[in-house]
Amino acid sequence: MRSLKLVERIKSYPVVFVGGIDTDIGKTVCTGILARELGRSGVRIITQKLVQTGCEGIAIDLLEHRKIQGLDLYPEDKAGITCRYVYPYPCSPHMAADLADEEINVDLITQDTQTLLERYEMVLLEAAGGLAVPITHELSILDYIAQQAYPLVLVSGGKLGSINHTVLSLKACEQANIPVLGLIYNRYPLQDVLIARYTEAYLRDYLQVHHPQTEFFVVEQEQY
């Protein structure tokens, strides 16, 4: 990643949402890397997880963020402010909440973000799954980003299907008037060299033609 350039592009925003074209695309690692580089540049930064599924206790993605940052857990992690909703079943948030006989109140998530902004200069807010994933039965992640008017960093990759998922995600953001500050192309793990090379080339060209305001960045394995 040309991390310094991306850091400079996003550091003026108090909240930046980190979303992905799909689940397991590398959002957590990219969020951690961005937080690490923002911290090194002097920004008082903290990460937040929208909803965590597939674990119990402190959100596993926050643990990964802190590992990448080289930091211990924040007090806000231990207090549940950086991830209020954690569910054991690995599925979409609305389903996980149903299985736990709970309701996700997105207003409380927004309040947590504001609490963090009272203590830190910037919050990186990581999604759960892709942009169309339902948080509740009525509200998707895309809806929430649009409601809050957050700018987005979108994480993509080189697996088969990434072109389709990336283009559709960008079109959805355009329709919802969500500014996409950067597209992070995650090169790891490498599954098929030829597909990955063609996917990266296509997405670079696509951004230049259709989204020239969105910058293209790359994450390599050694940055993990």
pLDDT digits (tens, 9 = 90+) for 16-60: 999 999 999 999 999 999 999 999 999 999 999 999 999 999 999
Q: What stretches in the chain show pLDDT beneath 50?
A: 1
Measured CA to CA in angstroms, residue 119 lies from 17, 58, 135 at distances of 18, 20, 26
Kindly report the CATH number assigned to the domain that includes residue 15: 3.40.50.300
pTM beyond cutoff 0.85: yes
Q: What are the catalytic residues? A: 49
CB atoms within 10 A of CB 138: 9
68-78 per-position pLDDT tens digit: 999 999 999 99
Could you give the angle at which helices 60-69 and 27-40 cross, rounded to 10 degrees? 40
Q: What is residue 76's predicted lDDT score, i.e. its pLDDT?
A: 98
153, 184 in Cβ contact below 8 A? yes
Domain span holding position 82: 3-223
Give the SS3 label for residue 5: helix
Going by C-beta distance under 8 Å and a sequence separation of 6 or more, which residues neighbour residue 116?
46, 48, 76, 81, 82, 123
| Total domains present in the chain | 1
Q: Residue 64 and residue 24: Cα distance in Å, rounded? A: 14
